Structure 1
Amino acid sequence: MTTFADRVAGAAAAVRELFPETPLQENPYLSRKFGARVLLKREDLTPVRSYKIRGAFNFFRKALATGKPAELFVCASAGNHAQGFAYVCRHFGRKGVVFMPVTTPQQKIDKTRLFGGEFVEIRLVGDFFDECYRAAIDFAAESGGEMVPPFDHKDIIEGQATVALEIAGQMPDGSQPDIVMLPVGGGGLAAGVTRYLSAGDAGTRFFFCEPGGAPSLKESLAAGRRVKLAGVDNFVDGAAVAEIGREPFRYLKDFPAESVRLVPENRLCATMIEMLNVEGVVLEPAGALAIDALKDFPKKEIRGRTVVCVVSGGNFDFERLPDVKERALRFEGLKKYFIIRFPQRPGALRDFLEMLGPDDDIARFEYLKKSARNFGSVLIGIETKERRNFDRLTAGFEAHGVQYQDITDNETLANFIV
């Protein structure tokens, strides 16, 4: 009977048909910043710019090896799994149907169609992924097609574990990582990597990185069973999963809940902008999770350690860039939104503008209520270069009796009117 390591080795050898090993690169910038030896496993450099192609390829390879494969393969995905699936369909010359929500950005639809070519049909169904997934399940049952799950299958996990096999062979001087940081959505990648690297009992510590708005693994580990979240924040779309996969959780259930780092979405945006501006690396939100989570370590805990961060994907839609920059500025305290009551008299706006410093810039100005006789409410967005400038500004508001409300961190109100 073959071992898990043997099966992963077979998957790794086979996937070389598609692409060479992705690099494990030491990043001098992050190493200096955190006082550790930070290595990035660049899964954003696969042909589909994510690790998802590995699991999809291994699933197809094993299905075709049975001798009686299905005539049609089916998947439901609005992102990286769809693109990996499509690429593999074309590679094996097999027909596939991809179900995507109607709300899927056109860029992702076009890329999936590009990778699959004439072998893939795309069907847009439902406004949300759950509707789309149910439609895919029903179609597979009716057509006799085979569902290719994004994470909840042993063959998918084995395929994703090839990331770990490559890391083990790429470590400088044959050393072992002290810490491995793994992004988590459905858990297929984390399950495969931890099982493979734990087999050597090298003392490597694993930390799992989830979006703050989708803590399915952390909640499940705390409860000792799989927990389905009532709702998730979909900003980190590559990892916003309401329930960790059944098969992945079998591999991960013995880890403590404290091993999961929850990453605030706005802080994650700051990391994405930082990596783009400083390193020229384009990351999708899920792809930046492992790097961002380094910020939660006390410096003394990782100083001098060798840390591997798995960069899971780089499929970033640049139409989202303004939103990412906005979130990053708000997290860093460089942009705030105020509702201010202006007296309806000549010179009131000029008096306000004189309170601004040389580094303060008005990015938004909008009257919310124009019919009041004595006062008018105004939404004002202000950007500045140093966060301490807002302390000076609000002190000026207080000194001059300006009636204001800072709504920057009021998500409900800010999302409604900003």
Structure 2
Amino acid sequence: MKNKNDYLERILTARVYEVARETPLELAANLSSRIRNRLFLKREDMQEVFSFKLRGAYNKMVRLSAAALERGVVTASAGNHAQGVALAAQRLGCRALIVMPVTTPQIKMQAVEARGATVVIHGDSYDEAYAHALKLAKEGAMTFVHPYDDPDIIAGQGTIGMEILRQHSGPVHAIFAPVGGGGLVSGIAAYVKRLYPQVKVIGVEPTDAGSLHHSLRAGRRIRLPQVGLFADGVAVKQVGAEAFRLCRELLDEVILVDTDAICAAIKDVFEDTRSILEPSGALSVAGAKLYVKREKLRDRSLVAVTSGANMNFDRLRHISERAELGEQREAVMAVTIPEEPGSFRKFCTMLGTRSITEFNYRYADPQEAHVFVAVSVRNRDEATKLILSLEDSGLHTVDLTDNEMAKLHVRHLVGGRAHQVEHELLYRFEFPDRPGALMKFLDSIGHRWNISLFHYRNHGADYGRVLVGMEVPPGEKTEFRAFLKQTGNRYWDESDNPAYRLFLG
């Protein structure tokens, strides 16, 4: 029997190539030129199930006894691991029961069912699906195939590290891998660090799903109270115990990236490969870019694992909107100009030949007008210089590029002043977006106060985001704040937000 700690042997003897292919290691030429380093993409999005997950799933299942295979397997997954288990079950001729949370993209559910597995929808999160899967496994005497916290799963994913070192002839400075439960990055680190300890292995997580990042800082596994759902493939509240043990010993660091950076990375990979990664699949590219910028790195060889491409088509709208912001190639501004002949033309002249990506104008009063404008720029420095030039010309300018409310809502609501509204308070809410979620939210806010403004956009499996204005008399503010806490949703008071004051208040 193999020693649990001898991952080199486990990875070298992993049985993955009966279902998986050795994916290419491709130079991202355009992106490499921009960041002045050689960035190679380990194209796990090119597997048969468009994700690396079949490696670990098959390596685990092919080692089960004939009796265990006869009884069947159970797992819980937001999609990619589910497809790996379904494919493995199909090849091995066993029954597979897959428990998926309601937030799972439809494309992943359909792919699992197409391979003959039975899908059970349960819970709002992976954790709820996981608990239900364990219950079903016990009731049916079936084998539970863990998505990440199992030595055979970790070893299967570790074969990616083996391939990277074999495919790249020269020295590699760093390998970047996305982190959900930690199976992929710990498997890669277990192999790479054993042979080439000088090669950095760096995990990448979303800022709102940083379970490994916070666990490493605390020195113990931390369970997050909630995680962001945009990168649904890594929306895990707690990293696996075995994965954490390995990462604590072997990993160089974990980098956190935001949604805009992930969207920009999806666009970067598309421009180089014409392939569209899912958000979790682009995490490593976003992390590599951030690392290069932070370390001022030049002329090094870097590898980013593009881990999956199971993208819901309806999410592309949101991603395309945010990609330019993530790359800092769009500046969003509120500019106040005199309400007089010629001022509008003067303002447009100052923008020069830059491409205007959005422009909203609303008459404010006889003296001045407010313009909401988005402009394409080469980088953040150019945006800063543009804002300073507008200010120097006497045009008061507010930079809204990092203003979340302005980017999500106000750009679609400019011109919505209602002078007859009294005592208006403005709040932004977030809740997991799933069928019926909006009606549930509306029920939670009730009918106690008059709603004077409401804006909602559906972003697929991301959070539901709502901007709400309510008329709350001064004497009822204490009662209103108590009500906010009872809704159970995340919320932000935007009543003093400059974007609101300029365009809506």
TM over 0.5: yes
Quick one: distance in 2 between partners of 1:138 and 1:377? 62
Query: Which residue of structure 1 lines up, in the alignment, with residue 376 of structure 2?
Result: 384
Give the 3 Å change call, closer, same or farther, for CA 376–185 of structure 1 in structure 2: farther
Contact 2:336 2:371 in 1 (8 A): no
- Please say if 1:196 is aligned against 2:191: yes
Query: Which residue of structure 1 lines up, in the alignment, with residue 7 of structure 2?
Result: 4
Quick one: distance in 2 between partners of 1:37 and 1:406? 34
Alignment of 1:120-131 (within 5 A): 120-131=117-128
What SS does the aligned partner of 1:110 have?
helix
Alignment of 1:20-169 (within 5 A): 20-63=21-64, 65=65, 67-69=67-69, 71-114=71-114, 116=115, 119-169=116-166
How big is the shift at 1:331? 2.9
Query: Which residue of structure 2 lines up, in the alignment, with residue 271 of structure 1?
Result: 265
Contact 2:107 2:310 in 1 (8 A): no
Give the 3 Å change call, closer, same or farther, for CA 310–355 of structure 1 in structure 2: closer
How big is the shift at 1:285? 1.9
Quick one: distance in 1 between partners of 2:198 and 2:387? 51
What SS does the aligned partner of 2:63 have?
helix
How big is the shift at 1:238? 1.9
Query: Which residue of structure 1 lines up, in the alignment, with residue 223 of structure 2?
Result: 228
What are the superposed Cα offsets for residues 351-396 of structure 1, whole Å, 9 maximum, x if unpaired? 97777655353636487xx9x9989997845243556367546754
What are the superposed Cα offsets for residues 165-187 of structure 1, whole Å, 9 maximum, x if unpaired? 22233332xx5534222222111
Quick one: distance in 2 between partners of 1:355 and 1:201? 54
Instruction: Structure 1 unaligned segments of length 5 or more: list them.
Output: none
Q: What one-letter code is carried by the residue in structure 1 that aligns with 2:245?
A: R
How big is the shift at 1:155? 1.5
Number of residue pairs matched by the alignment: 405
Identity %: 33
TM-score, normalised with respect to structure 2:
0.69
Contact 2:211 2:223 in 1 (8 A): yes
- Please say if 1:242 is aligned against 2:237: yes
Contact 1:151 1:187 in 2 (8 A): yes
Q: What one-letter code is carried by the residue in structure 1 that aligns with 2:149?
A: D
TM-score, normalised with respect to structure 1:
0.82
What SS does the aligned partner of 1:297 have?
helix
Quick one: distance in 2 between partners of 1:253 and 1:25? 29
How big is the shift at 1:413? 5.9
What SS does the aligned partner of 1:82 have?
helix
Quick one: distance in 2 between partners of 1:363 and 1:188? 42
What are the superposed Cα offsets for residues 58-85 of structure 1, whole Å, 9 maximum, x if unpaired? 111122x364446131122222111112
What SS does the aligned partner of 1:196 have?
helix
Instruction: Structure 2 unaligned segments of length 5 or more: list them.
Output: 412-505
Contact 2:31 2:272 in 1 (8 A): no
- Please say if 1:283 is aligned against 2:277: yes
What SS does the aligned partner of 2:209 have?
coil
Aligned-pair RMSD on alpha carbons?
Answer: 3.4
Quick one: distance in 1 between partners of 2:371 and 2:89? 51
Quick one: distance in 1 between partners of 2:253 and 2:220? 16
What are the superposed Cα offsets for residues 217-268 of structure 1, whole Å, 9 maximum, x if unpaired? 1211111111122332222222232221111011111247x62222232122
- Please say if 1:409 is aligned against 2:402: yes
Quick one: distance in 2 between partners of 1:68 and 1:275? 41
- Please say if 1:294 is aligned against 2:297: no
How big is the shift at 1:55? 0.8
Contact 2:20 2:55 in 1 (8 A): no
Q: Which range is displaced more, 355-364 or 134-143?
A: 355-364
Tell which has more relative contact order, 1 or 2 (C-alpha 8 A, sep 6+): 1
Quick one: distance in 1 between partners of 2:355 and 2:34? 28
Contact 1:335 1:381 in 2 (8 A): no
Query: Which residue of structure 2 lines up, in the alignment, with residue 312 of structure 1?
Result: 307
Q: Which range is displaced more, 152-161 or 140-149?
A: 140-149
Quick one: distance in 2 between partners of 1:199 and 1:314? 30
Give the 3 Å change call, closer, same or farther, for CA 353–237 of structure 1 in structure 2: same
What SS does the aligned partner of 2:120 have?
strand
Q: Which range is displaced more, 29-38 or 43-52?
A: 29-38
How big is the shift at 1:150? 0.9
Q: What one-letter code is carried by the residue in structure 2 that aligns with 1:214?
A: A
Contact 1:181 1:308 in 2 (8 A): yes
Contact 2:45 2:307 in 1 (8 A): yes
Quick one: distance in 1 between partners of 2:331 and 2:97? 45
- Please say if 1:19 is aligned against 2:16: no
Q: Which range is displaced more, 197-206 or 387-396?
A: 387-396
How big is the shift at 1:201? 4.5
What SS does the aligned partner of 2:256 have?
strand
